[in-house]
Amino acid sequence: MKSTLQTPIALLTERLARQSATLTSSERALAEGLERDYPHALLESATALATRHGTSASTVVRLFAKLGYASYAEAQREARAEVTALLQTAGQRAPVTIGTERSLQQCVDDALLHDQHNLNATRDGLDMAAFEAITTRLAEGTGRVYVLAQINSAPVAAWLALHLNMCRPGVQELGAGAIDTTDQLLWVQPEDVLLAFSIRRYASGPVKVAQRFRDAGAQVFSITDSSAAPLAALAHQRVLVRTSNASPFDSYTAAFFLCNALVSAVAQLRHAAVPETLQRRDDLWKDMEAQLIVDSHAPAGRRGKR
């Protein structure tokens, strides 16, 4: 049996095209209405949808079962993902995502379904040539790697910088807790790389930093949610992630997946060096962190003594 990640999830319009020859006349009339107003048509209840198209609720349920949906609710989750992908802010997305009453179990199921769609869409749409170019440069390059993100993307960028640093030297985070970005830009060299995140709403900061790297002759790689993102136009290579969610807020599950894949690929390309690096890290941990743990439990008069 194929896993969810191996089986692409078709949208309603694609399923209707595949099954058009098997539909009854009443189902076909309903299908034509859905195609004209997809995805917005699915934001209302099955009863309201049936009434608007002059058919019965049972016909609606039967059609979606024939199309391979587990329930009409599943098709609605898909539609909400398609609608929210077009809306820029959490405020705009709130009426669509939380405007109908849902049980807590439905909240859990909705979140899972959206992230499954996000993972599939990110994997199926991945530009492998760009992915290979990015990971090869990260693994084999001699310059520094600067990782940049703002606001909601910062936790993903921090995770990526942390783990890239275990695979290669010269990784620096341009974000919360780091040296001021302006000061770090003083030393950008042509052999350096900027790996920047840009998820809606798009901020001007990463674009200005990317332009500084390009002006210095350095390479710019981007992870964005759209090829239309301003940062994407400045990137030498870019990869896209899907961020739709069952709540008003973007989901970063697929972004973590992509970063996990990047780290895995860099570690694989540097397989001769990474094990030794990680062993040195383990030794440092034993020498530094373990002593701190022992000291914290030692009597006050003996802390720090050997």
At 25-57, the pLDDT tens digits run: 999 999 998 888 888 788 788 888 899 889 999
Average pLDDT over residues 88-92: 69
| Ranges 9-23, 78-92, 206-220, 231-245: which has the least confidence | 78-92
Of 209 and 97, the structure prediction assigns the larger pLDDT to: 209
Domain ranges within the chain, ordered by starting residue: 1-83, 128-271
CATH superfamily of 128-271: Glucose-6-phosphate isomerase like protein; domain 1 (3.40.50.10490)
Statement: residue 175 has pLDDT above 60: yes
pTM comes to: 0.71
pLDDT score recorded for residue 88: 65
Nearest in space to 192 (alpha carbons), one of 208, 175, 168: 168
| Ranges 22-31, 98-107, 118-127, 264-273: which has the least confidence | 98-107
As a whole number, the mean pLDDT across the chain is 85
pLDDT score recorded for residue 99: 63
Of 191 and 284, the structure prediction assigns the larger pLDDT to: 191
3-17, 133-147, 170-184, 285-299: which has the highest mean pLDDT?
133-147
pLDDT score recorded for residue 8: 47
pLDDT score recorded for residue 160: 96
The domain over range 1-83 is classified in CATH as 1.10.10.10: yes
From the CB of residue 247, how many other CB atoms can be counted at a distance below 10 Å?
A: 16
